[in-house]
Amino acid sequence: MYRVVIRAAFVLFRLLGLRFDVRGEQHVPTSGAAVVAANHQSFLDFLVVGLPAVRRGRLVRFMAKEAVFRSPVGGPLMRGMRHIPVDRRHGAVAARTALRALHAGELVGVYPEATIGHSFVVKDRADLRLGAARLAVEAGVPLVPVATWGLHRVWTVGPHLSLRRGRWVGLWVGEPLWALPGEGAEELTDRFHAALHDLVTGLVDAYPDPPRRPESAWWWPAERGGGAPSPEVARVLDRRAVAKADGLPDPGD
Protein backbone atom coordinates (compact mmCIF):
# COMPACT_ATOMS: atom_id res chain seq x y z
CA MET A 1 0.00 0.00 0.00
CA TYR A 2 2.76 2.45 0.97
CA ARG A 3 4.60 2.02 -2.33
CA VAL A 4 1.37 2.43 -4.28
CA VAL A 5 0.76 5.74 -2.51
CA ILE A 6 4.34 6.82 -3.24
CA ARG A 7 3.85 6.15 -6.94
CA ALA A 8 0.60 8.13 -6.86
CA ALA A 9 2.41 10.98 -5.10
CA PHE A 10 5.07 11.08 -7.82
CA VAL A 11 2.32 11.31 -10.44
CA LEU A 12 0.81 14.24 -8.52
CA PHE A 13 4.23 15.93 -8.33
CA ARG A 14 4.60 15.65 -12.11
CA LEU A 15 1.08 16.95 -12.74
CA LEU A 16 1.81 19.96 -10.53
CA GLY A 17 5.26 20.40 -12.08
CA LEU A 18 6.84 20.79 -8.64
CA ARG A 19 10.49 21.86 -8.71
CA PHE A 20 12.16 20.05 -5.84
CA ASP A 21 15.37 21.19 -4.19
CA VAL A 22 16.34 18.27 -1.95
CA ARG A 23 19.52 18.51 0.08
CA GLY A 24 21.07 16.57 2.93
CA GLU A 25 19.31 13.28 2.22
CA GLN A 26 22.53 11.50 3.24
CA HIS A 27 21.62 12.36 6.83
CA VAL A 28 18.74 9.85 6.70
CA PRO A 29 20.21 6.51 7.81
CA THR A 30 19.98 3.66 5.31
CA SER A 31 19.39 1.23 8.18
CA GLY A 32 18.41 1.42 11.81
CA ALA A 33 15.93 3.54 13.66
CA ALA A 34 15.58 7.33 13.78
CA VAL A 35 12.97 9.96 14.56
CA VAL A 36 12.34 12.19 11.54
CA ALA A 37 10.97 15.53 12.77
CA ALA A 38 9.75 18.25 10.41
CA ASN A 39 8.11 21.65 10.32
CA HIS A 40 4.48 21.76 9.17
CA GLN A 41 3.28 24.28 6.58
CA SER A 42 1.00 22.45 4.14
CA PHE A 43 -1.71 19.82 4.01
CA LEU A 44 0.57 17.99 1.58
CA ASP A 45 3.65 17.89 3.82
CA PHE A 46 3.25 14.18 4.53
CA LEU A 47 3.71 13.47 0.81
CA VAL A 48 7.12 15.17 0.61
CA VAL A 49 8.74 14.94 4.06
CA GLY A 50 9.37 11.23 3.52
CA LEU A 51 10.95 11.81 0.09
CA PRO A 52 14.60 11.90 1.32
CA ALA A 53 13.98 8.60 3.11
CA VAL A 54 12.46 7.06 -0.02
CA ARG A 55 15.56 8.08 -1.95
CA ARG A 56 17.58 6.24 0.69
CA GLY A 57 15.45 3.12 0.33
CA ARG A 58 13.48 3.72 3.54
CA LEU A 59 9.87 4.35 4.49
CA VAL A 60 8.73 6.62 7.33
CA ARG A 61 5.88 5.72 9.66
CA PHE A 62 4.28 9.07 10.46
CA MET A 63 2.40 9.91 13.62
CA ALA A 64 -0.84 11.68 12.67
CA LYS A 65 -3.95 12.81 14.50
CA GLU A 66 -6.50 10.08 15.00
CA ALA A 67 -9.19 11.98 13.07
CA VAL A 68 -7.31 11.33 9.81
CA PHE A 69 -7.70 7.59 10.39
CA ARG A 70 -11.49 8.01 10.66
CA SER A 71 -11.70 9.50 7.17
CA PRO A 72 -13.46 7.14 4.71
CA VAL A 73 -10.77 7.85 2.12
CA GLY A 74 -7.64 8.62 4.10
CA GLY A 75 -8.29 6.13 6.91
CA PRO A 76 -7.75 2.92 4.91
CA LEU A 77 -4.67 4.42 3.27
CA MET A 78 -3.15 5.51 6.57
CA ARG A 79 -3.77 2.11 8.13
CA GLY A 80 -2.48 0.34 5.04
CA MET A 81 0.76 2.32 5.26
CA ARG A 82 0.99 1.45 8.98
CA HIS A 83 1.15 5.05 10.12
CA ILE A 84 0.52 5.71 13.80
CA PRO A 85 -2.75 7.32 14.99
CA VAL A 86 -2.44 9.85 17.79
CA ASP A 87 -5.30 10.61 20.15
CA ARG A 88 -3.79 13.69 21.79
CA ARG A 89 -5.85 13.16 24.93
CA HIS A 90 -4.26 9.72 25.34
CA GLY A 91 -0.88 10.18 23.72
CA ALA A 92 0.83 7.40 25.71
CA VAL A 93 -0.73 4.74 23.47
CA ALA A 94 0.73 6.31 20.32
CA ALA A 95 4.07 6.80 22.07
CA ARG A 96 4.26 3.10 22.92
CA THR A 97 3.48 2.17 19.32
CA ALA A 98 6.14 4.57 18.07
CA LEU A 99 8.71 3.19 20.51
CA ARG A 100 7.99 -0.35 19.33
CA ALA A 101 8.56 0.78 15.75
CA LEU A 102 11.85 2.43 16.72
CA HIS A 103 13.01 -0.64 18.63
CA ALA A 104 12.24 -2.63 15.48
CA GLY A 105 14.62 -0.39 13.52
CA GLU A 106 12.04 1.76 11.71
CA LEU A 107 11.90 5.47 10.92
CA VAL A 108 9.15 7.35 12.76
CA GLY A 109 7.96 10.74 11.50
CA VAL A 110 6.75 13.47 13.87
CA TYR A 111 5.56 17.08 13.49
CA PRO A 112 6.62 18.81 16.74
CA GLU A 113 4.69 21.96 15.76
CA ALA A 114 1.51 19.85 16.19
CA THR A 115 -0.42 21.65 13.46
CA ILE A 116 0.19 23.78 10.38
CA GLY A 117 1.79 27.11 11.25
CA HIS A 118 0.23 30.32 9.97
CA SER A 119 3.41 32.41 9.87
CA PHE A 120 5.32 30.13 7.44
CA VAL A 121 8.40 30.23 9.62
CA VAL A 122 9.32 27.90 12.47
CA LYS A 123 7.13 28.33 15.54
CA ASP A 124 8.60 29.61 18.78
CA ARG A 125 10.43 27.07 20.89
CA ALA A 126 7.71 27.32 23.57
CA ASP A 127 5.14 26.10 21.04
CA LEU A 128 7.04 22.95 20.06
CA ARG A 129 5.96 19.69 21.64
CA LEU A 130 8.53 17.40 23.25
CA GLY A 131 7.30 14.11 21.82
CA ALA A 132 9.86 13.77 19.03
CA ALA A 133 12.81 14.41 21.34
CA ARG A 134 11.33 12.21 24.06
CA LEU A 135 11.05 9.29 21.61
CA ALA A 136 14.65 9.81 20.48
CA VAL A 137 15.92 9.91 24.05
CA GLU A 138 13.94 6.90 25.25
CA ALA A 139 14.79 4.77 22.21
CA GLY A 140 18.42 5.90 22.06
CA VAL A 141 18.14 6.91 18.38
CA PRO A 142 18.99 10.09 16.47
CA LEU A 143 16.56 12.95 15.89
CA VAL A 144 16.77 14.00 12.23
CA PRO A 145 15.48 17.54 11.45
CA VAL A 146 13.74 17.97 8.10
CA ALA A 147 12.69 21.39 6.82
CA THR A 148 10.37 22.11 3.93
CA TRP A 149 9.28 25.39 2.41
CA GLY A 150 7.23 26.38 -0.63
CA LEU A 151 4.57 23.68 -0.62
CA HIS A 152 2.23 25.98 1.31
CA ARG A 153 1.74 27.88 -1.95
CA VAL A 154 -0.07 24.78 -3.25
CA TRP A 155 -2.38 24.01 -0.31
CA THR A 156 -2.40 25.30 3.24
CA VAL A 157 -4.57 26.89 5.91
CA GLY A 158 -6.57 29.95 5.05
CA PRO A 159 -7.77 28.12 3.07
CA HIS A 160 -5.32 28.63 0.23
CA LEU A 161 -5.38 26.18 -2.68
CA SER A 162 -3.62 26.68 -6.00
CA LEU A 163 -3.03 24.18 -8.80
CA ARG A 164 -0.68 26.49 -10.65
CA ARG A 165 2.20 24.46 -12.03
CA GLY A 166 5.89 24.93 -11.38
CA ARG A 167 6.04 25.75 -7.67
CA TRP A 168 9.47 25.45 -6.06
CA VAL A 169 9.58 23.18 -3.03
CA GLY A 170 12.67 23.10 -0.84
CA LEU A 171 13.32 20.03 1.28
CA TRP A 172 16.50 20.09 3.37
CA VAL A 173 17.65 17.52 5.90
CA GLY A 174 19.90 18.49 8.79
CA GLU A 175 22.53 16.47 10.59
CA PRO A 176 21.16 13.86 13.02
CA LEU A 177 20.98 15.04 16.62
CA TRP A 178 21.91 12.49 19.29
CA ALA A 179 21.00 13.09 22.90
CA LEU A 180 24.10 14.06 24.86
CA PRO A 181 24.92 12.31 28.16
CA GLY A 182 22.41 13.44 30.76
CA GLU A 183 20.36 15.38 28.19
CA GLY A 184 16.58 15.15 28.35
CA ALA A 185 13.77 15.94 25.94
CA GLU A 186 13.73 19.66 26.83
CA GLU A 187 17.40 20.20 25.99
CA LEU A 188 17.26 18.07 22.84
CA THR A 189 14.20 20.00 21.67
CA ASP A 190 16.14 23.23 22.21
CA ARG A 191 18.85 22.01 19.84
CA PHE A 192 16.31 20.65 17.39
CA HIS A 193 14.48 23.99 17.29
CA ALA A 194 17.73 25.85 16.56
CA ALA A 195 18.62 23.42 13.77
CA LEU A 196 15.14 23.56 12.22
CA HIS A 197 15.11 27.37 12.41
CA ASP A 198 18.44 27.55 10.56
CA LEU A 199 17.23 25.13 7.88
CA VAL A 200 13.99 27.03 7.23
CA THR A 201 15.84 30.36 7.19
CA GLY A 202 18.17 28.90 4.59
CA LEU A 203 15.24 27.69 2.51
CA VAL A 204 13.59 31.11 2.49
CA ASP A 205 16.93 32.71 1.61
CA ALA A 206 17.28 30.26 -1.29
CA TYR A 207 13.71 30.69 -2.55
CA PRO A 208 14.04 31.49 -6.27
CA ASP A 209 10.68 33.22 -6.74
CA PRO A 210 10.37 35.94 -4.08
CA PRO A 211 7.36 38.25 -4.46
CA ARG A 212 7.74 41.57 -6.24
CA ARG A 213 5.42 43.16 -3.70
CA PRO A 214 6.08 41.29 -0.45
CA GLU A 215 3.42 43.11 1.56
CA SER A 216 0.66 41.75 -0.71
CA ALA A 217 1.96 38.16 -0.78
CA TRP A 218 0.00 36.17 1.82
CA TRP A 219 2.57 33.37 1.70
CA TRP A 220 5.70 35.46 2.35
CA PRO A 221 6.80 35.71 6.03
CA ALA A 222 5.92 38.90 7.88
CA GLU A 223 9.45 39.06 9.29
CA ARG A 224 10.59 39.69 5.70
CA GLY A 225 7.93 42.28 5.00
CA GLY A 226 5.44 39.78 3.64
CA GLY A 227 1.68 39.52 3.96
CA ALA A 228 1.66 36.42 6.18
CA PRO A 229 0.32 36.85 9.74
CA SER A 230 2.76 38.43 12.16
CA PRO A 231 4.29 36.10 14.77
CA GLU A 232 1.89 37.45 17.40
CA VAL A 233 -1.21 36.91 15.25
CA ALA A 234 0.08 33.56 13.98
CA ARG A 235 0.60 32.33 17.53
CA VAL A 236 -3.06 32.98 18.36
CA LEU A 237 -4.20 31.25 15.16
CA ASP A 238 -1.84 28.32 15.75
CA ARG A 239 -2.95 27.78 19.34
CA ARG A 240 -6.60 27.91 18.34
CA ALA A 241 -5.91 25.31 15.65
CA VAL A 242 -4.11 23.04 18.13
CA ALA A 243 -6.93 23.40 20.67
CA LYS A 244 -9.51 22.54 18.01
CA ALA A 245 -7.49 19.49 16.92
CA ASP A 246 -7.19 18.38 20.53
CA GLY A 247 -10.90 18.88 21.21
CA LEU A 248 -10.20 21.62 23.77
CA PRO A 249 -11.96 24.98 24.30
CA ASP A 250 -10.85 27.94 22.21
CA PRO A 251 -7.97 29.54 24.15
CA GLY A 252 -9.01 33.01 22.95
CA ASP A 253 -6.61 35.85 22.26
SS3 letters across the chain: CHHHHHHHHHHHHHHHCCEEEEECHHHCCCCCCEEEEECCCCCCHHHHCCHHHHHCCCCEEEEEEHHHHCCCCHHHHHHHCCCEEECHHHHHHHHHHHHHHHHCCCEEEECCCCCCCCCCCCCCHHHCCCHHHHHHHHHCCCEEEEEEECHHHCEECCCEECCCCCCEEEEEECCCECCCCCCCHHHHHHHHHHHHHHHHHHHHHHCCCCCCCHHHCCCCCHHHCCCCCCHHHHHHHHHHHHHHHCCCCCCCC
- Number of domains the chain contains: 1
Q: Is residue 221 part of a domain?
A: no
Residue 138's CATH number:
3.40.1130.10
What's the chain's average pLDDT? 94
pLDDT tier at 253, thresholds 50, 70, 90: low
Please name the residues in contact with 75: beta carbons below 8 A apart, sequence gap of 6 or more.
68, 69
Q: Is residue 230 part of a domain?
A: no
Q: Which domain holds residue 84?
A: 2-214
Q: What is the pLDDT of residue 62?
A: 97
List, for residues 102-144, the tens digit of each pLDDT value. Answer: 999 999 999 999 899 999 999 999 999 999 999 999 999 999 9
Q: Is residue 241 part of a domain?
A: no
Q: Is residue 248 part of a domain?
A: no
List, for residues 156-176, the tens digit of each pLDDT value. Answer: 998 999 999 999 999 999 999
Per the model's pLDDT, the better-predicted residue between 231 and 57 turns out to be 57
Q: Is residue 232 part of a domain?
A: no
List, for residues 85-113, the tens digit of each pLDDT value. Answer: 998 676 789 999 999 999 999 999 999 99
Query: Is pLDDT at 67 greater than 70 in this prediction?
Result: yes
Q: Which amino acid is at 106?
A: E
